[in-house]
Structure 1
């Protein structure tokens, strides 16, 4: 696992990190870089060649970190076995799930891809997309210039360049130590939609540097001497946002419960996937421990998921909202206002830790008008 390919960006905010810490699983507090703030830049060189870069920065109220899933999952599996658990490594399809469900009191599926996720029916009360909203490319690199005089160098940084898309940058801990992650979120047909050939990490990174040089030259200056951390340091793909129903049936009518990516898959533009997984695991664990000797029947499964989804649905809604084309008017207004008003920048940045807070203003036109109007009169 440690020698494989990277699998995600796994940005985690304070509440989700707290869940890991409470469970005794925050094994990288002394080694994973902390990102102290958020920077958003906006540039439109295609429309205005001499247009200035507009940006705001804001401190995070709580810690933000990213630990390579290759590092994290390998260490957790080893810890699980050290404590008496048994981990099996093999391919599992729908027929194997039926056998597992028959042999266990509770079967939980957490994969968001392939045949297993298809066991769960789509929840048509949510938008059903027939294709991904963005094309994605992600690189883990080291050798980045981190200037101590540049406070934003260690921030989570996002740069929007219409019509290319967005580039999101963060610090992380990978197999070889601290690194930086660069994620390209490409709009279809734009300059960042250029990864269909899926080059190796070295060739892909050379292409990425060219994109940064053209579309985010200030980031290019930071990254121009950087190199991929390892041969598996590139990831390409595209994600079709999906919400599925929580219970599937195998071997006739035997229920199995879905979790995290198996039931709600969304684009990484808002950095919520790993946070949702932590919240789901905590909620499910509480439900299992409080069940006592009662069976894990279908009603319990649905109630367990509903308790988790009561909050997680806001995360999915927020991600859907931020991917809309054209950009919702109140998002544009919020960003424009944040450029000039630190209070708005701070509220915008810290909402990522709990996207349900955006319901009160960013995702509600009337709430946005009431809040932003205080700064724009």
Structure 2
């Protein structure tokens, strides 16, 4: 029986460990926290998983919360106009506002719920769990006992084993300051009170607010997620440690920059004391093979090797797709050695999926060119355009056909209008 060590108990690490376990591999999972510590700790992320990523979980029988989590059937885009005194009480209106329908619903499950549950399932199914914050020296020791070591812990010392791929990493600094609050009590959007949708609110020159229906440890909730351009008016959460202060600041920004969202948030409260998160990181693609001091090699997984900004909501989706791709490569490899050529080929296979995600995400971090603004504006009057844009969150490769090139954008809009 082949022995595999998976370091890191996030979306990709656990999905891959459980997938390998189901195929008879002897899997050891290394996590820096127990399931209970994960469940009762601070929120770790935002997440909204679209159809393809959800299907990977279904294929492994891991969709434990599908009947409980909100079914997200649409994706809305609003663009804030300039501040004006013409509106009641001053503030901003929306110059663009539309909703696209998803072909298959999306869902969000608080990673505290999912990762704790999956960790317990892994142990119940006979997997060996090692609760230990791994260092490079630990992997140097453990690697001798395993046929393959997979590193899916995307933060800390282990990431330093994987060199930055400069050709695929255009940014050297964080492009957004991130702030998250999980809340109960958010009202529905009055224009669409009968179905759940992710709401993407763009504030030109400042950043974005995303509102995501989710399932958390205390039931149905919503995520209020600000992405602020560093140094701008939304970059104000550094040093804020009190959860109540964090929420108050979140709402203050909503009142000023997205008053249509603030109007349904006047009665919200935090889901729990651990329901806030703030930080920033640099989007980076890394080379997939990490080399250990003793000469061994390990393979990086998901955001260890492809870490995108969450502005396009691709983190958990990419992690699921990476785990599925790596699982297929491992199963197809049979009893052959997991050498460096195989590791590189396994990553290259996943990069075919990750490349369009990275290209689109990096484009969305910049100032949108005129043809993209025209496309987003046209979606307000052309439902097929809104729907196609929404479904691109599930399949970002589709943007290649109509998003990046002005001529392709115009040709697509002409094909829709018939003009």
Q: After TM superposition, is the score higher than 0.5? A: yes
Q: Tell me the CA shift for residue 149 of structure 1.
A: 7.0
TM-score (norm 1): 0.95
- Per-residue deviation at 1:154? 2.1
Q: Please state if 1:234 is matched with 2:271.
A: no
Q: 1:361 aligns with which of 382, 387, 402?
A: 402
Listed as ranges, the matches of 1:237-316 within 5 Å are: 237-316=279-358
Confirm whether residue 29 of structure 1 aligns to residue 66 of structure 2: yes
Q: Using a 3 Å threshold, how does the CA distance of structure 1 residues 47 and 222 change in structure 2: closer, same or farther?
A: closer
Equivalence for 1:11: 48
Task: Decide which of 41, 55, 66 is 2:108's aligned counterpart.
Answer: 66
Q: Write out per-residue CA displacement over residues 134-175 of structure 1, whole angstroms, 9 at most, x where no aligned residue.
A: 111011000122378733762100111223211000100111
Q: Which runs of 5+ in 1 are unaligned?
A: none
Shift of 1:364: 2.6
Which digits, 9 at most, give the CA deviation of each residue in 1:321-343, with x for residues without a partner?
A: 1111x212322111111122111
Structure 1 residues 300 and 76: CA distance shift in structure 2, 3 A = same
Task: Please give the secondary structure, in 1, of the residue aligned with 2:168.
Answer: coil
Once the two structures are superposed, the pairs formed by residues 90-101 of structure 1 within 5 Å of their partners are 90-101=132-143
Assess, with a 3 A threshold, how the Cα gap between structure 1 residues 91 and 370 changes in structure 2: closer, same or farther.
Answer: same
Cα shift at 1:265: 0.7
Q: What CA deviation, in whole Å up to 9, does each residue of 1:111-132 have, x standing for no partner?
A: 2222111110111221342210
Change (3 A) 1:48 1:250: farther
TM-aligned CA deviation for residue 52 of structure 1 = 4.3
Distance in 2, Cα, partners of 1:298 & 1:49 = 63
Say whether residues 1:342 and 2:383 are aligned partners.
yes
Please report how far the alpha carbon of residue 295 of structure 1 lies from its aligned counterpart in structure 2 after TM superposition. Answer: 1.1
Cα separation, 2, equivalents of 1:102 and 1:276: 30
Q: 2:392 aligns with which of 351, 356, 370?
A: 351
For residue 221 of structure 1, the aligned residue among 255, 263, 267 is 263
Computed over aligned residues only, the root mean square deviation of the Cα atoms, in angstroms, reads: 1.8
Inter-partner Cα distance in structure 2 for 1:123 and 1:164: 29
In structure 2, the partner of 1:79 is: 121
- Which stretches of structure 1, 4 residues or more, deviate above 6 A after TM superposition? none
Give the corresponding residue for 1:371: 412
- 2: distance between equivalents of 1:181 and 1:61? 23
SS at match of 1:125: helix
Shift of 1:373: 3.5
Alpha carbons 1:200, 1:231 under 8 Å: kept:
no
Q: Does 1:137 align with 2:179?
A: yes
SS of alignment partner, residue 245 of structure 1: coil
Distance 1:165 1:365 in 2: 24
1:76 Cα offset (Å):
0.5
Cα separation, partners in 2 of 1:376 and 1:323, compared to 1, 3 Å: farther
